[in-house]
Structure 1
Amino acid sequence: MFASDPKFELRYSGEFPAVASTGKLALSPFGELTAGVNLSQIALSVMDLDGGNAKRVFSDKDGGAYAPTWSPDGQWIAFGFGAFFTDRETKPAHLMMVRADGSEKRDLTSGPINSGFPSWSPDGKHIAYRIWAQQDRGLRILNLQDGSITTLTSDYDNFPVWSPTGDRICFTRATQNAFDIFSVRPDGSDLKQLTDAPGNDAHCAWSPDAQYIVFSSSRLGFRDEAPLYDVAPQPYAELYIMKADGSDQRPITDDKWEEGTPTWVPGTVKQARRE
């Protein structure tokens, strides 16, 4: 995979990749879409960074597992389980976590509200996630020590990602005409809009030193790009990078494929990405 900036090495992985501090890669889904598996039955898999030694660690016929996030010590994986996408307003989903080997399954949230797309705080004590209901939207923070939940935002927000330094959370928000990247402090203060270009900007991820944010953008427009498979939900995106304050935005891909849901490999300036 080619990056226009030589400081970055791109590696194709799969949807919603998450890389642990131990170097393990979690994917959900992992090949199921190309195999025609129903979206409501997507499993969670763990493997080496090169795709070797893959092991399915969670699968349940009653729902799909999406968007894993690793605990800072690499021992646990949190994820959303249930119904997502077109079913998110009518069917519930909740947060779960399992050990990296698939043992000790635990429910983290419950109730009728659709909860998903979690991100673990770097101190391991909290998880940020999005909720979705007909009358209730936004981002929430779960305290893993006492189970309490606090409201972070109440807008049409999704895909929260906690910075490695713990002082900010970036996320995607629906603005007046598009989707854009924002960041906010974990207490809900100091909200900042980081992108404001024509087209959608989404799926942000922090660099390990918290100095940069990578994200997908459709600002270059439609150019006969194509997803790798027919059921990909949102083609026409390239990967962009910017400084944490939103400055110096520039593309790092320019090809015929869709790029999205990127993540950084911890401790390096390289990233794994989904095409």
Structure 2
Amino acid sequence: MNHKTIISLLALATGTVAAAQAHAKDVLLFNRIGPTKSELYVANADGSGEHKLIAGEGFDYAARFSEDGQWIVFTSERTAEHGGRGQSDIYRVRADGSALERLTDDPAVDDQAALSPDNRYVAFMSDRGSHRANIWVLDLQTRQLRNLTGAAPIQGDPTKPDGFYRPSWSPDGQWIAFTSDRNTEWKAHDKGVAWEHLQELSVYIVHPDGTGLKRLTGEGVTTGSPKWSADGKSIIAYQGETEVSWLSRVDQLSMKATSQIVSIDVATGATKELTSGAGVKLYPQFLPDGRFAYSTKSAQISGIMYSDGAKPFPSNLREPSWSKDGKQVVYEKISNLPLEQNTPLYSWNDKYEYRYTDVFPMFAKDGTLAFSNKDVDTSLVVSKADGSDKQLVFQSTTHCAKGKNPSGQCGDMIGVALTPSWFPDSKKLVFSFGGYWRTRDQNVANVKMINRDGTGVEDLTSTTSNTGFASVSPDGKQMVYRSWAKGDEGLRIMDLETRKVRVLTNDWDNVPGWSPATTGPSAGRIVFTRKQKDGNFDIFTIKSDGTGLLRVTNFPASDAHAVWSWDGKKIMWSSSEYGFKDEAALYDNSFQPYGQVWIMDPDGSHKEQMTNSRWEDSLPAFVPPAALNKGK
């Protein structure tokens, strides 16, 4: 090989590398609320003999025994096969853990499977084709698939909740029971004052061919997770006030919730309570000899309970399912330990790599990432885009939102540090600190400025009211923030040199973001969320001089948490447009489990859904070129 050939090959190799780098995928960071580990276990009914169902690593949940006890179907997000967490398919395995088989393979959410009594069909929830939760049926012999609840006579009003969940076959295979929130209203908890949605579920039955739809339970309550009796005459389920669908899914509130186990007469729809007393009771199932079992969550005894007074099986488990003879139970054990920053997530868009981030990510012009470490104590942290070189800039637990109490401690006055926003020189940030969300009426909060090394903390707004969610203008001369006080609600703009404040809006507006663009259609515009008179939340933009108000979302479900892309050419936000993917009461510590990341142009056109998991996905940020140059 001569000298010229070597040079030519080197040039070709260099060009190939450069081309690969030039065409590398953009990276989208976003936060996900959901378990970070979920493994299936099988045990005897009394908890003895517990062992893992499947050896090795997996992310498995929603397991259910077949009628003959030979098979277990379940949902899995097996990352080695899928290229990242979040994409779920249906699997089956022998009850002894052998013969693992994948039954579905689709980017959609496939979940909540149940085998027919003859093991030929599997009914499951899927949002394929429409992004809405429907019941699908797969013929395991022919592999033909059909949407059981997708027919017009079964579908509800598409502008309202319209999901179908938790299918269950009758013992003779002639009926499928399921729950649905079809034709209910988008309602917020706490009598409509709050932002998070309730879920009003009813139990329905339908023939496997889609005929004979019948509603068994009435309005005004949430009834979930139906299972049939051995004679097919009754269905067992949990039932409670609709507020349970909110309280049960938030750890610190679930102790306030109560649901009961009920039996429903299939012929008449008559409902009979089988349990009493406080506490959340879920996942009921009839057992032989007239017994039944269920699990509790955040009650005095948490775990599996039996109606005949058998010894409870206390354990931090979820989704128990018993074999027909009641001798064995399969369930999942979960962990909510945080993911590492930059953990790969499944990407539903081939143009991007998806990765996990802690909350409120914001990039400086030099590529430095700032975020709130909610996974630890909601303090302010800066790092590289991949989470390396992490530095704690402001620790929430060493500061007090309202000053120290007489004993010299913060007590319950500890605040949280949220929504960092960089100055254009990448040397300083503003952020919000204090009591927000549900505590905003009782606690103070304000906007602070700080050097990126943690020095020079300075209050920019009053420490006696509740202000926050600030965003700095591209030239660093102004910031927009929200004010929360009776008679002083809305968005305000502060001149950072004179500290003079002017009113931008006087409505119930929140989480403003100043476009980073200095030219183009978004230059000088501020994106924010507004609560409408009907309780719905939508995304708006407005010019910084108060003109040009533009509503860019208008779906009856809530849209919020909007942010700009780093170049100001796109708006990303969290939307509940397609509703819940499961019964809300079954989630753990998930405020808006229906939330998914969307993207659109600044004028509201070209809307596109970016994520499609069964978990809560929100708070996105594209990694800018300056950060990619520092390494992902």
- What is the TM-score of this pair, normalised by structure 1? 0.88
Alignment of 1:18-167 (within 5 A): 18-32=362-376, 37=377, 42-59=378-395, 60-62=398-400, 63-165=415-517, 166-167=523-524
Is 1:169 the counterpart of 2:526? The answer is: yes
Question: Which residue of the other structure, out of 544, 549, 553, is the alignment partner of 1:186?
Answer: 544
C-alpha contact 1:119 1:129 (8 A) present in aligned 2: yes
CA pair 4-194 structure 1, distance change in 2 beyond 3 A: same
For the pair 1:200 / 2:544, whether they are aligned, the reply is no
**For 2:488 and 2:557, how far apart are their aligned partners in 1?**
26
What is the rounded CA distance, in whole Å, between the counterparts of 1:236 and 1:225 in structure 2? 10
Residues 140/267 of structure 1: CA separation in 2 closer, same or farther (3 Å cut): farther
Match of 1:246 in 2: 604
Tell me which moved more, 97-106 or 257-266: 257-266
For residue 347 of structure 2, what is the amino acid of its counterpart?
Answer: A
Residue identity in the other structure for 1:157 = D
Tell me the residue number matched to 1:256: 614
The residue type paired with residue 156 of structure 1 is W
TM-superposed CA distance for 1:267, in Å, is 4.2
Find the aligned partners of 2:583 and 2:478 in 1 and give their Cα distance.
38
Seen in structure 2, the aligned counterparts of structure 1 residues 208 and 57 have a Cα distance that, compared at 3 Å, is closer
Q: Does structure 2 conserve the Cα–Cα contact (< 8 Å) formed by 1:225 and 1:235? A: no
Distance in 2, matches of 1:263 and 1:83, equals 24
Q: Distance in 1 between matches of 2:535 and 2:434?
A: 30
2:421 counterpart letter in structure 1: T
* Counterpart in the other structure of 2:238: none
Q: TM-score, normalised by structure 2?
A: 0.39
Match of 1:265 in 2: 623
Q: Give, in angstroms, the shift of residue 46 of structure 1.
A: 1.2
Q: How many residues align?
A: 260
Alpha-carbon distance, 1:111 to partner: 4.6
Question: Does structure 2 conserve the Cα–Cα contact (< 8 Å) formed by 1:130 and 1:138?
Answer: yes
The 10-residue stretch of structure 1 (175-184 or 52-61) with the greater mean CA deviation from structure 2: 52-61
C-alpha separation between the residues in 2 aligned to 1:150 and 1:108?
14
Q: Which runs of 5+ in 2 are unaligned?
A: 1-344, 401-414, 518-522
CA apart distance, 1:254? 0.8
Residues 18 and 26 in structure 1, CA contact (< 8 A), matched pair in contact too: yes
Q: Secondary structure at 2:438's aligned position in 1?
A: helix
Q: Deviations over 1:96-131 (max 9, x none)?
A: 011111111111111532011111111111111111
Structure 1, residues 131-169: CA drift from partner, whole Å, max 9, x if none?
111332111111101001111111111110111224100
Cα gap change, 1:197 to 1:181, in 2 (>3 Å): same
Tell me how far 1:230 sits from its aligned partner.
Answer: 4.1
Does the CA-based 8 Å contact 2:372-2:380 persist in structure 1? yes
Q: Which moved more, 1:198-207 or 1:242-251?
A: 198-207
Superposed CA RMSD in Å reads 2.1
2:353 to 9, 23, 33: 9
Structure 1 residue aligned with 2:240 = none
Task: Work out the percentage of aligned pairs sharing the same amino acid.
Answer: 42
Per the TM alignment, residue 264 of structure 1 is displaced from its structure 2 partner at its CA by 2.9
Decide whether the 8 Å contact of 1:20 with 1:74 is kept in 2: yes
CA separation in 2, counterparts of 1:198 and 1:265? 31
Q: In structure 2, what is the Cα distance between the partners aligned to 1:230 and 1:20?
A: 34
Secondary structure, counterpart of 2:352 in structure 1: coil
Structure with more relative contact order (C-alpha pairs < 8 Å, separation 6 or more) = 1
**1:193 offset after TM fit, Å?**
0.3
Letter of the structure 2 residue corresponding to residue 146 of structure 1: T
Which structure: greater helix fraction?
A: 2
Distance 1:225 1:15 in 2: 25
Q: Secondary structure at 1:86's aligned position in 2?
A: helix
